[in-house]
Amino acid sequence: MARVRHVYVPNPGHKAGGARLLVTGLLCALAAAAGLWCRATYGAQVTADEPQYLLSAISIAEDGDLDIADELAAQRWRPFHEAQLPEQTKPLPGGRRVSPHDPLLPLLLAPAVAAGGWVGGKLTLAAIAGLLGAATLWVAVRRFGVSVGVATLAVVVFGASLPLAAYGHQVYPELVAALVVVAGAGALTGPLKRGGLWLLGSGVVALPWLAVKYVPVAGALAAIGLVRLWRRGDRAGAMGLGAGLAAAGLVFLGLHQAVYGGWTPYAAGDHFVTGEFGVVGFHPDYVGRGQRLVGLLMGRKFGIAAWQPAWLFAVPAVAALLRQRPAGWPVIVAPVAAGWLNATFVALTAQGYWVPGRQIVVILGLVVIAVAWWVDRVRAWSLFTAAGLVGIVSYGWLVVETSTGRLTLIVDFWRTANPLYQAWKWALPDYVAENAWTWPLHWAWAVALVGLLALGSRLTSR
């Protein structure tokens, strides 16, 4: 039988011991928890969709359901949202009010919110940031053969900077989804026997319940699993996985009709005036959205490289993966492509009331692994470290400013006094407040990123 190149046999010479995993996870968790008191806006500790997740968690903990009508009537948001709360919900039959967001995150947060309020919820997310850091390190070392030192460096650099550190305390499902994806990648690059199949299947099922926008990434993981099972001759395993996922899909649709009154949670939202699928835009300009291919990375305010320049290493890393095709490469490339294209062409906006990078956090754990793999092979760890320190300083500076009331994480974070960001931002296109330099800088960076792709494809591995 032909060798299946994306099956990886763990290298016994590459191990991340339990103590290293624990310390790495702890550092990532502490970086996330450092932002616990960062204010989202001047009128609220949390804002936009965050209060909705917290209200749903309160309802699950106290009432055992998703109906937040009584929580809205009692203004249960007051401890974390001083200003009047935009409700987001429309009345459903029987007077129910259901937040237009999928329920898995509130379900995960419910015990902590019941015990410790919004602080408990945020601390839970910080703990998940730690789990993500440890899982990413393990997969990078055991499945992709990255040296322990470089893998640890990459995980800590990215785990202690935007956007990963911020979503360890922002109340969104992004970091949970990133953990699920990394776990799925670990399963796909392992033996994929009973335990691996359960882990993969559970992850694929869980992603839409965290947010329906994760369906493309879940689909990419499922497709790789099905292809691998089929190619190795495990027809029963492939059919079992396919049937299980199909059944889970039908349950998802049926429960959404019963709870939300539509195929997605957006059916319960009061702002989708043309129906639930208005969430992708009422008159989407897909050509115009193409600028996000560059902007998600290089945008002055919402591009992730603006706040952590080390993300630029992702471009040559992915190119090198495509050129060299090491064992396991589709498990990184396919979900990353699905997530990036979804954030580019399907998401309503890449620039909203959230920390930069929200739409792509789901795939960034895999990007960290790709960067670690490439940096390890071209021995670029010193340059990577220098860029990474800039991003760590930027995050720390922003934490201080938004915890002391000088700025907020949502409204005006780009006004930071951080001199590193203020110097670097002038080289980046501003898509929020377009000016004469926006598009020249956009195309200059497009050319530069193509150059980085060429660089990555030319540099060979050790």
What secondary structure, in 3-state letters, does 199-268 show? HHHHHHHHHHHHCHHHHHHHHHHHHHHHHHHHHCCCHHHHHHHHHHHHHHHHHHHHHHHHHCCCCCHHHH
Amino acid at position 161, single letter: S
Q: Which pLDDT value is given to residue 167? A: 96
**pLDDT above 90: residue 15:** no
Rounded CA separation 49/39 (Å) = 14
Both tokens of 257, joined, read: 């009709």
Per-residue pLDDT reduced to its tens digit, 99-158: 899 999 999 999 999 999 999 999 999 999 999 999 999 999 999 999 999 999 999 999
Rounded CA separation 73/76 (Å) = 8
Angle (CA) 458-376-200 rounded to 5° is 100
**Domain residue spans of the chain:** 18-458
**pLDDT above 50: residue 326:** yes
Per-residue pLDDT, averaged over 174-183, amounts to 97
User: Residue 80: which pLDDT band, with cuts at 50, 70 and 90?
Assistant: confident
Mean per-residue pLDDT of the chain: 90
Q: Which pLDDT value is given to residue 371? A: 97
Q: Which pLDDT value is given to residue 12? A: 46
User: Residue 4: which pLDDT band, with cuts at 50, 70 and 90?
Assistant: very low
